[in-house]
Amino acid sequence: MRVVLQRVNSSRVEVDGKVVGSIGKGLNILLGVKKGDTQEDVSRLAKKVVNLRIFENEEGRFYFSLLDVGGEALVVSQFTLYANTKKGKRPSFEEAEEPKRAKELYEAFIEELKALGVPKVESGIFGAMMEVYIQNWGPVTLVLDSENL
């Protein structure tokens, strides 16, 4: 599994002009699922996300985690995180998990964030064409891969 984390002041996702998920201060999480990912990947990545210290203290140093600050999370499915651009001009997505299994792990990740104590977890709609609005705070953007945790 791969995530692009963005620390945000606010973020929302719209489908057909309607807001389907919205948060204040916290993390916008773009989540990609790779073929072969498991529930273990979900658990390991979710724990890393909620405990990663990327919120600043009074001295401006990364000191607090999402849980420490009571931050919120907006999770958006993003199969394109597994794009392969080595050949040609058009990306292929052979490494991305098939939709049924990817949706199961996407939903499991959302539930894991809730179980770990994130006070508000919102999401987009899996497989939908979405517009994601991100007010990046910092900016702070990190890429995490469950294979490297």
Per domain, the residue ranges of the chain are 2-148
Residue whose structure tokens are 């073929």: 35
At 23 the pLDDT is 98
At 86 the pLDDT is 94
**Beta bridge mates, 64:** 55
- 110 alpha-carbon distance from chain centroid: 9
Angstrom distances, CA of residue 134 to CA of 1, 29, 63, 95:
21, 10, 23, 26
At 32 the pLDDT is 98
With beta carbons less than 8 A apart as the criterion, state whether 76 and 123 touch.
yes
At 7 the pLDDT is 98
With beta carbons less than 8 A apart as the criterion, state whether 106 and 97 touch.
no
Which are the catalytic amino acids? 78-80
| Averages of pLDDT over each 10 residues, the chain, 149 residues | 98 98 98 98 98 97 98 98 95 96 98 98 97 97 96
With beta carbons less than 8 A apart as the criterion, state whether 98 and 29 touch.
no
Q: Which amino acid is at 143?
A: V
Q: Which amino acid is at 73?
A: A
Alpha-carbon torsion (94, 134, 140, 9), positive or negative: negative
Which of the following CATH numbers is that of domain 2-148: 3.50.80.10, 1.20.1730.10, 1.10.3720.10, 3.20.20.120?
A: 3.50.80.10
| Total count of residues recorded for the chain | 149
At 104 the pLDDT is 98
At 121 the pLDDT is 98
At 46 the pLDDT is 98
Question: In the numeric block, which tokens belong to residue 138?
Answer: 């910092």
